[in-house]
Amino acid sequence: MRGLLKYIKPYGFYMLLTLCLKFTAALMDLLIPSLLAKIIDDIVPRQDIQMIFVWGGVMLLCAVVSITTNVTANRMAEVSAGGMTRAVRHDLFSRITYLNAGQLDDFTIPSVVSRLTSDTYNVNRMLSRMQRIGVRGPILLIGGIVITMTMDPKLTLVLVASLPVILLIVVLITGKSVKIYERQQNMLDDMVRVIRENITGVRVIRALSKTEYERKRFDQVNESLAETERRAGSVSAASNPATTLVLNLGLTLVILVGAFLVQSGESGPGTIIAFLSYFTIILNAMLGITRIFIMCSKGLASARRITQVLEAPENMRILAGEEPDHGQGDCHVEFRNVSFSYLHRRDNLSNISFALKKGEVLGIIGPTGSGKSTIVNLLLRFYDADEGKILIEGRDIRTIPLSELRKRFGVVFQNDYLMAESIEKNIDYFRGLSGKEIEKAAVLARAQEFIKGKKGEMGADVAVRGNNLSGGQKQRIMIARALAAKPEILILDDASSALDYRTDALFRKALRENFEDTTIVMIAQRISSLKGADHILVMEEGKCIGYGTHRELLEGCGQYRQIYELQMGSMDGKEQRGSR
Ligand code: ADP
Ligand code: MG
């Protein structure tokens, strides 16, 4: 809640005004039954029609004032709640974009999404309900009891006697329904997870003919969600009838006791009628207040989830600059005994070292899960290394501001994505590049060949997730995107895996001829893609099991030679076909 205070403050005056209006409306509502009592008990017996009209008019006025102030205040409450929620959502979103990769791993993406959507919605409901009923409820409750006390203490006893019964019912039912509600939310999360997995994995599921199995899995979560909903429904279904029953019993009791009081002349019929109204007002106020409690417990839980993200520490600190440390010679990119673990259980990288001069190419090869992409993640400082140092031009990357650091890179990630925009915008990526630069990048990435064939050429639209392009075409656009800004360091993580051999070879030739000053880190599965690299790093289970040129590795690294022989055996034919 303290975290939310910052957002409430700007609306302080506005909310105060809302509360004043709510206060006026509640007073008017409390006044009306006593006016009625006065008319019936004092004015009617005098048979003064004019006075009846005057007091009737006053009653009407109260009703009009009540309804206008109430409606206005409710609208204002929605406006301020909406404004505050918007500000929260805005800050939350911008904080999320700055979360580092480790923090995102911890929160998980679906949870971040639900914090942005359903949690902010809960906070919105809480803020608006608090203003709408939070003031009105207590005023009506306390005001009602005070007025009835002054009118007739004996009848008030009836009221006070039935309050604990209602309170008990409400506490029991809400206690139970809050618990069920929490379970329901968790099940909803489960269902969303199954749907997500299903939709993202739809091709695999179909390919393996698991559709029927997946449908059963969905039916299971769906059934348990429905079951919880049923239970929540049957609990809350008891709530309204039970409270109405107590309310009606209380009303009957008031009429019974009232009848005796009127008979004995202790009280007037008007008072009894007013009493019935107050009774209803007070009980409704109580129900309103309990609902506020539920709303608040939900809202506060959500507010906590939101502030967790908002207050997540910024742990990618930029360290104070130090003298450039060039180690042995003039290196552009250097890993010095780097070790790293994502979950701090076992090392995902251990003791990795390499040094690249400006314009050199590093090839990385190794089985999946061996830590190749992790090297890239550390180099771009998505995560901080646990041990060792990563240097660019002799500067520890932790001393370089993130924006400056990342501006040096052009990257194609493994499983990268394209925007649903034109090809040109995908290559430009909001960097304001000129048409010439974009075109040149497309030519170098060998994307021009198929772009020419498209309707609208550069302006042709890319579908969501690039679904209207083949894997190789997507990769070529991504490569063009990486090349377009003439990066100092180019990172290609499995970027040419879907290119045919000929295109791959031509692309590498273009790289050599046009980017001789660019330092390149190239991760690939095919040795043919890496053969020409200045250094090749062979990875296995986070360790470097070979480092050197193609020739050196063929002689000195058994695993490398094994991969080479395997690939040459199966690829000879293809390569020849490709280059024909
Ligand atoms: P690859 O060589 O296929 O690119 P990665 O570098 O992506 O391998 O992954 C290396 C290891 O780190 C794998 O065992 C993988 O399970 C683990 N890993 C990768 N990313 C994460 C992450 N965000 N959280 C936890 N473990 C991860
Ligand atoms: Mg990878």
Residue 9 Cα to ligand 2 middle (Å): 47
pLDDT at 573 exceeding the cut of 50: no
Among 16-20, 559-563, 567-571, name the most confident range: 16-20
How confident is the model over 13-23, as a mean pLDDT? 93
Ligand 1 atom with minimal separation from the 375 CA? 6
Q: How confident is the model at residue 134 (pLDDT cuts 50, 70, 90)?
A: confident
How confident is the model over 497-519, as a mean pLDDT? 85
Distance CA(445)–CA(495), nearest Å, equals 11
Q: How confident is the model at residue 57 (pLDDT cuts 50, 70, 90)?
A: very high
Cα torsion 405, 410, 416, 420: sign:
positive
- Using CB distances shorter than 6 Å, the residues near ligand 1 are 105, 342-343, 348, 366, 368-374
The per-residue pLDDT for 570 is 56
Distance CA(162)–CA(249), nearest Å, equals 9
How confident is the model over 471-493, as a mean pLDDT? 87
Question: Alpha helix locations (H) across 311-428?
Answer: 372-379, 402-407, 423-428
Q: 12-21, 186-195, 199-208: lowest mean pLDDT where?
A: 199-208
Strand, helix or coil at 361?
A: strand
The per-residue pLDDT for 80 is 94
Nearest CA, atom 21, ligand 1? 342
Closest CA to 495 of 573, 399, 410: 410
How confident is the model over 282-311, as a mean pLDDT? 83
pTM, rounded to two decimals: 0.69
* Higher pLDDT, residue 575 or 442: 442
CA 121 to chain centre: 12
Q: 28-42, 478-492, 499-513, 559-573: lowest mean pLDDT where?
A: 559-573
The 8-class DSSP code of residue 468 comes to T
Contact 499/475 with Cβ under 8 angstroms?
yes
How far apart are the two ends of the chain, measured CA to CA in Å? 69
The per-residue pLDDT for 19 is 93
Q: What is the Rg, in whole angstroms, of the alpha carbon atoms belonging to the chain?
A: 36
Phi/psi for 434 (5° steps) reads: -80, 160
Residue 337 Cα to ligand 2 middle (Å): 21
Distance CA(127)–CA(125), nearest Å, equals 6
Residue 339 Cα to ligand 1 middle (Å): 14
Nearest CA, atom 27, ligand 1? 342
pLDDT at 456 exceeding the cut of 80: no
* Higher pLDDT, residue 3 or 430: 430
pLDDT at 356 exceeding the cut of 50: yes
pLDDT at 575 exceeding the cut of 60: no
Distance CA(451)–CA(429), nearest Å, equals 17
How confident is the model over 54-59, as a mean pLDDT? 92
Residue 371 Cα to ligand 1 middle (Å): 6
Distance CA(578)–CA(580), nearest Å, equals 6
pLDDT at 364 exceeding the cut of 60: yes
The per-residue pLDDT for 327 is 63
The per-residue pLDDT for 32 is 92
Among 61-70, 176-185, 557-566, name the most confident range: 61-70
The per-residue pLDDT for 1 is 61
Closest CA to 535 of 521, 556, 555, 516: 521
Share of the chain above pLDDT 90, in %: 19
The 8-class DSSP code of residue 411 comes to E
How confident is the model over 429-444, as a mean pLDDT? 83
* Higher pLDDT, residue 194 or 524: 524
How confident is the model over 255-283, as a mean pLDDT? 86
How confident is the model over 285-308, as a mean pLDDT? 82
How confident is the model over 223-230, as a mean pLDDT? 86
pLDDT at 233 exceeding the cut of 80: no
CA 354 to chain centre: 38
How confident is the model over 68-82, as a mean pLDDT? 95
Contact 205/198 with Cβ under 8 angstroms?
yes
pLDDT digits (tens, 9 = 90+) for 114-128: 888 888 998 999 999
Ligand 1 atom with minimal separation from the 102 CA? 23
- Residue 333 CB neighbours (<10 A): 23
Residues belonging to the chain? 580
Q: Which of 338, 343, 373, 543 to mutate to test the pocket of ligand 1 (most atoms within 8 A of CB)?
A: 373
Q: How confident is the model at residue 288 (pLDDT cuts 50, 70, 90)?
A: confident
The per-residue pLDDT for 576 is 43
Q: How confident is the model at residue 58 (pLDDT cuts 50, 70, 90)?
A: very high
Residue 523 Cα to ligand 2 middle (Å): 8
Q: 5-14, 102-111, 405-414: lowest mean pLDDT where?
A: 102-111
Nearest CA, atom 6, ligand 1? 371
Q: Which segments within 368-487 are labelled E, that is strand? A: 387-392, 395-396, 409-412
Closest CA to 3 of 339, 389, 309: 309
pLDDT at 18 exceeding the cut of 50: yes
Contact 160/223 with Cβ under 8 angstroms?
no
How confident is the model over 87-116, as a mean pLDDT? 85
Contact 533/550 with Cβ under 8 angstroms?
yes
Q: Which ligand ends up closest to the CA of 414?
A: 2
Residue 560 Cα to ligand 2 middle (Å): 18
Helix or strand (DSSP H, E) at 70: helix 49-98
Residue 349 Cα to ligand 1 middle (Å): 10
Task: Kindly give the pairing relationship between strand 535-540 and strand 361-365.
Answer: parallel
The per-residue pLDDT for 329 is 67
Distance CA(301)–CA(114), nearest Å, equals 13
- Sequence-distant (6+) residues with CB within 8 A of 345 are none
Helix or strand (DSSP H, E) at 490: strand 489-493
- Looking at every residue in the chain, the average pLDDT score rounds to 84
Ion ligand 2, residue ranges at CB < 5 A: 372-373, 414
The per-residue pLDDT for 315 is 67
Q: How confident is the model at residue 580 (pLDDT cuts 50, 70, 90)?
A: very low
Q: How confident is the model at residue 547 (pLDDT cuts 50, 70, 90)?
A: very high
Cα torsion 139, 145, 146, 147: sign:
positive
pLDDT at 574 exceeding the cut of 50: no
* Per-residue CA distances from 221 to 199, 224, 226, 227, 540 (Å): 16, 5, 9, 10, 39
pLDDT at 462 exceeding the cut of 50: yes
Phi/psi for 229 (5° steps) reads: -60, -40
Ligand 1 atom with minimal separation from the 493 CA? 4
Q: How confident is the model at residue 85 (pLDDT cuts 50, 70, 90)?
A: very high
